[in-house]
Amino acid sequence: MAIITIWHNPKCGTSRNALALLQEHGHSVTIVDYLKSPPDAATLARVAAAVGGAQALLRTRGTNAEALGLPSADDATIMAAMLADPILINRPVVIGPRATLLARPAETALDAA
């Protein structure tokens, strides 16, 4: 089975479900608590590009993204905000041999394997 990395927030139901689904299918999963160990700028840029850009990776629900004007901001502004406050990164991000993707819904996590 494939080795998968998941940017995980244990408080997020979708993230917990994606992790459980990957493990149930026998994948070895490296769990990165991205709130405690945020990605560096290069990694964040690579992942954002893979999922369709910074806008696609932006989490607005339960964050101050709207107040910061991020939904209408350019990619550089969004990326800088995510680097400063990783709660703005949507989750779970799943990085596998076939794809890097935002696993929403959780079942799409298997598409990365």
Q: Which residues, listed in sequence order, are joined to residue 6 by a DSSP beta bridge?
A: 31, 94
* Set 2, 7, 11, 12: catalytic member: 12
Cα 76 to Cα 59, 82, 98, distances in angstroms = 15, 10, 27
Q: In whole angstroms, what is the distance from residue 10 CA to residue 4 CA? A: 17
Nearest to 111 by CA among 99, 102, 31: 99
Can 12 be counted among the known catalytic residues? yes
* Residues designated as active site: 12
